[in-house]
A and B are shown apart, each in its own frame.
Chain A
Amino acid sequence: MKLLKLITKNAGRHKLRTILTVVGLALAVMAFGLIRTFIIAWYASARASAPDRLVTRHSVSIVFTLPLAYKEQLLQVDGVEDVTFGCWFGGIYVDPKNFFANFAVEHTSFLRIYPEYIVPPDQLDAFASERQAAVVGRKLADRFGWKLGDQITLTGTIYPGDWQFVIRGIYSGKTVDTDETAFLFRYDYLDERMKEESPGRAGQIGWYILKIDDPNRSAEIGSKIDARFDNSWAETKTETEKDFALSFIQMSSAIIVGLRIVSYLIIGVIFLVLANTMAMTARERISENAFMRTLGFRGYHLVGLILGESLLIALMGGLCGMLLLYVVSSGVGVALSQFFPGFEADAMTYMLTTATAILIGVAASVFPINRALRIKIVDGLRVVD
């Protein structure tokens, strides 16, 4: 199209204004992408969960414990192939600011049911043969510079006192979504000391993880289990690992909802920024557009000119924003890798931002186009700018 040059020249007519608009769009696009990436990362634990794993916990709340004795009964439930358990420890390493997940697991079964935690065989053997052994995630070890054989002391919060551990294994995750920041140690170490110090709390665990033979039967198996412990001293609630992870995330769902709203507001802001620029343009070019029509240019020529300019600015903003998003999200990804495994803007986010930019480019040109086409030539020519 011969008018292509005019589109780019028009977009560059007020250089400062166009640059400010593009920068505004770029920042907004980046913010939108970052929030979306953050939300996705937030749900990563749920995404990483396996469909053939159920979690059984106390029906009232995860903070209530279950008797260790349930394990044998769970194994007898039809469809349950394997059972392990975990117990939240909540220990502090030197300073509460150093927060990371640490919990006791049944060392004989836990890593069998969690094949996504990859531990070298010799380290597995070491974990099995020493009561104070701990296996930690690769990122956690990196964070504190831990090496195999290091002595670590955690100060208990739920289980009082200082607790000594020896790092005997460092696991890595099978996929980027696998959390590599957990600290796992042996339940028998915890239980043994509880028997001495407060016998009433011995033989209690936090939650069971069950491997089932058929993911399609998870609801059925879950309700069978919960029925079995109905009216017992500790009633249970069984759900898929995904629902279990989501129930944690849901605790902070208000934040997520807030973020989602903010991200939609940002789209609104992007639109207003561009629409404002295009509206100014429309006002300035009333007589110019009327003059073009006097020459014989048609409505569709003006549509092309205005839409083209709007799209051009929107796409420049979108492109700059995506570049920023790429740079910033990889930076943030490195900084937050402790908390969010796999924080990285995905292809879908880039596609969405591109689509949003195009949509906004089109939407922002509607008013100026309407204005340019509606006004009569003679009236447009009378407007002196």
Chain B
Amino acid sequence: MNAPIVKILGLFKSYYRDSLEIPVLHDINLDIPQGQFLALMGPSGSGKTTLLNLIAGIDRPTSGTLAVAGEEIGKLTEQQMAKWRSRHIGFIFQFYNLLPVLTAYENVELPLLLTSLSRKERKEHVETALSIVGLSDRMKHYPRQLSGGQEQRVAIARAVVSDPTLLLADEPTGDLDKNSAEDIMTLLARLNKEYGKTIVMVTHDPRAAEKANFVRHLDKGELQQ
């Protein structure tokens, strides 16, 4: 296997409500090698989303170290983190999080607005990403004109358009019917196999987890062996 792209060592995460400490993640140790498609499973409230958010650099560990793509992200400033995320992370959500006022094309283009790419270069990237997810003919459609499965594919195109180091997906099929879910999973598996994308996916669905090449279980904030 390749060198780990995510290295987590003795990671703890607690939330604080008033002065009350709510421990969520307990002593997590995890290496994710480059090119792995990892499924994270576990009961509701076990801390899956929290772990994913930490890897995504939108939250900070309480203690322990968390290095992604060679960068210890807990030590970055907010500003550096924002920049780091735009370069390394593609995020896929359960509810797609497309901007309703933007077309499929414009939604996919959004992350590229943070880069110095020219309009023409952006167009190439967006068209490539949309063709990978099979939506070249839906570029001018608004989210409300698309099915749930299509919306999620637009969201995936947006996640890969800037060619991030790591794809993170939080229950990407949670809001979809069986067939659409199947399509999405096939697509993610293809991104992993054909394009070598490293993927961390949280899911409740065992059928979805089958598509992954590695499954880890989280229970009450602890990673099971």
Contact = CB atoms under 8 A, between A and B. Distances in A.
Interface of A: 2-3, 5-6, 9-10, 12-13, 287-288, 291-298, 376-378, 381, 384
Contact of A295 (B50, B59, B86): B86
Given A287-B97, A377-B58, A384-B95, A296 B102 contact: no
B102 A294 contact: no
A294 to B, nearest CB: 6
B22 interface: no
Contact of B58 (A5, A10, A12, A294): A294
A294 B56 contact: yes
Contacts of A297: 82, 114
A298 B82 contact: yes
Nearest to B53: A378
Contacts of B110: 292, 295
A384 B170 CA distance: 14
Contacts of B87: 296
A295 B101 contact: no
B97 A293 contact: no
A378 B113 CA distance: 22
Contacts of B123: none
Given A6-B101, A6-B102, A294 B91 contact: yes
B114 A295 contact: yes
Contacts of B102: 6, 9
21 contacts: A6-B99, A10-B101, A13-B100, A292-B110, A293-B58, A293-B82, A294-B91, A295-B85, A295-B86, A296-B85, A296-B86, A296-B87, A296-B111, A296-B114, A297-B82, A297-B114, A377-B58, A377-B59, A378-B53, A378-B58, A381-B58
Contacts of A384: 95
A143 B114 CA distance: 67
A3 B101 contact: no
Interface in B96-114: 97, 99-102, 106, 110-111, 113-114
Contact of A2 (B58, B91, B97, B113): B113
A381 B91 CA distance: 12
B83 interface: yes
A295 B79 contact: no
B111 A295 contact: yes
A182 B59 CA distance: 78
Contacts of B53: 377-378, 381
B97 A296 contact: no
Nearest to A11: B101
A260 B85 CA distance: 53
Contact of B99 (A288, A294, A376): A288
Nearest to A285: B99
Interface string B134-156: 00000000000000000000000
Interface string B159-172: 00000000000000
Contacts of A291: 93, 97
B97 A288 contact: yes
A6 B91 CA distance: 21
Interface string B70-85: 0000000001001101
Contacts of A10: 101
B149 to A, nearest CB: 19
A84 to B, nearest CB: 71
B70 to A, nearest CB: 18
A2 B85 CA distance: 20
A3 B99 contact: no
A296 B58 contact: no
A293 B86 CA distance: 9
Contacts of A9: 101-102
Contacts of B82: 293, 296-298
A384 B174 CA distance: 14
- Of B82, B87, B93, most A-chain CB atoms within 10 Å: B82
Contacts of B100: 13
B79 to A, nearest CB: 7
A294 B53 CA distance: 10
Nearest to B115: A296
Most chain A beta carbons < 10 A, residue from B56, B106, B111, B113:
B113
Contacts of B99: 6, 288
Contacts of A292: 110
A381 to B, nearest CB: 8
**Best-surrounded residue of B79, B83, B85 (most CB of chain A within 10 A):** B85
Contacts of A295: 85-86, 91, 110-111, 114
A377 B101 CA distance: 21
B37 to A, nearest CB: 21
A291 B90 CA distance: 12
Q: Which of B50, B86, B97, B111 has the most chain A CB atoms closer than 10 A to its own CB? A: B97
Contacts of A378: 50, 53, 58-59
Contacts of B79: 298
Given A3-B113, A378-B59, A294 B85 contact: yes
Interface centre among A12, A292, A376, A378 (most CB of B within 10 A): A378
A6 B86 CA distance: 19
Interface in B174-192: none
Nearest to B101: A9
Interface string B110-127: 110110000000000000
